[in-house]
């Protein structure tokens, strides 16, 4: 691939972590959904058998948490809310209409992506804590029954919320052409960067002019 006209957006280790985590997340989400209604029971075939699904769901859940914790350390600095993000919120109609003029001073991630980032991190933390509370046979016996009941409710609500959030995240990733390719290859075009993340593009450009290259 000729990368002369492209900009590195996401490094290999971050992409590998994201896509491995997506596979694990799907397995955990489908097996989790399979326990909501009898009609969804078939979904636990994702782990082979219902028994395996029951055993592996929590272990894979912890793995998803650890992979997201790693992503947190790599991405948090780009996801802190800044004063310029107000402009994106104020012009949300323009964003939804797919209009890119005037430029909205968008950094590496836009305000919506930042909210999503914090939503994902908050929900996975809630899932981890509530998941440990209800994890039989390892930890559940350490807690009184009412606590386990509340844990079950919180775990189910947080699980549904995270699945809905991820459906939105995946939809938007397909909606913004070039995003998925960016997360697969690591590179985006200069035009993509200028159109969707103008402030980030200017920073990259000025670093390149100063001979530092950029991410
Ligand atoms: C089919 C499912 C998914 C697709 C197509 C997808 C696609 C993408 C793409 C294209 C990006 C890069 C966005 C950009 O460069 O502006 C991204 C970033 C990200 N994704 Fe996904 N993703 C999926 C599932 C998930 C899941 C299941 C999670 C977590 C539970 C997740 C968490 C993240 C995070 C934390 C980022 C970094 C965004 C930020 O720092 O603001 N993704 N994803």
List pLDDT tens digits, range 115-153. Answer: 999 999 999 999 999 999 999 999 999 999 999 999 999
The pTM score is: 0.94
79 pocket-lining for ligand 1 (C-beta < 6 Å): yes
Asked whether the predicted pLDDT for residue 114 surpasses 60, the reply is: yes
Q: Is 187 helix (H, G, I), strand (E, B) or coil?
A: strand
Asked whether the predicted pLDDT for residue 1 surpasses 80, the reply is: no
Q: Is residue 6 part of a domain?
A: no
What pLDDT digit, counting tens, does each position of 154-209 carry?
A: 999 999 999 999 999 999 999 999 999 999 999 999 999 999 999 999 999 888 77
Instruction: Give nearest CA residue, ligand 1 atom 11.
Output: 183
Asked whether the predicted pLDDT for residue 212 surpasses 60, the reply is: no
Q: Is residue 81 part of a domain?
A: yes
**Ligand 1 atom with minimal separation from the 197 CA:** 16
85 within 8 A of 111, measured Cβ to Cβ: yes
183 pocket-lining for ligand 1 (C-beta < 6 Å): yes
Q: Is residue 133 part of a domain?
A: yes
179 pocket-lining for ligand 1 (C-beta < 6 Å): yes
What range defines the domain where residue 163 resides?
A: 13-209
Which DSSP category does 135 fall into? -
203 within 8 A of 194, measured Cβ to Cβ: no
Share of the chain above pLDDT 90, in %: 91
**Ligand 1 atom with minimal separation from the 124 CA:** 30
Domain CATH code at residue 88: 1.20.950.20
In whole numbers, what is the pLDDT of the chain averaged over residues?
Answer: 95
Q: Is residue 199 part of a domain?
A: yes
Q: What angle do CA 199, 203, 206 make, to 5 degrees?
A: 135
Q: Is residue 5 part of a domain?
A: no
């Amino acid at each position: 691939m000729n990368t002369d006209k492209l900009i590195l957006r996401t490094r290999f280790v971050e992409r590998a972590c994201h896509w491995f985590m997506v596979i694990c997340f799907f397995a955990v989400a489908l097996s989790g959904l399979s326990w909501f209604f009898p009609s969804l029971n078939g979904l636990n075939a994702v782990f082979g058998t219902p028994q395996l699904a029951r055993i592996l769901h929590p272990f894979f859940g912890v793995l998803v948490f650890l992979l997201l914790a790693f992503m947190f350390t790599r991405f948090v600095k780009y996801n802190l809310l800044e004063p310029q993000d107000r402009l994106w919120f104020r012009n949300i109609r323009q964003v939804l209409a797919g209009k890119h003029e005037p430029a909205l001073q968008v950094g590496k991630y836009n305000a919506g992506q930042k909210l999503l980032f914090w939503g994902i991190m908050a929900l996975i933390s809630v899932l981890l804590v509530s998941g440990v509370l209800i994890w039989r046979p390892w930890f559940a016996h350490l807690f009184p029954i009412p606590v386990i009941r509340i844990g079950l409710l919180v775990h189910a609500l947080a699980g549904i919320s995270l699945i809905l959030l991820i459906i939105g995240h995946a939809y938007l990733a397909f909606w913004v052409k070039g995003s998925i390719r960016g997360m697969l290859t690591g590179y985006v075009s200069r035009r993509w960067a200028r159109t969707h993340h103008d402030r980030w593009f200017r920073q990259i450009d000025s670093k390149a002019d100063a001979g530092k290259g950029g991410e």
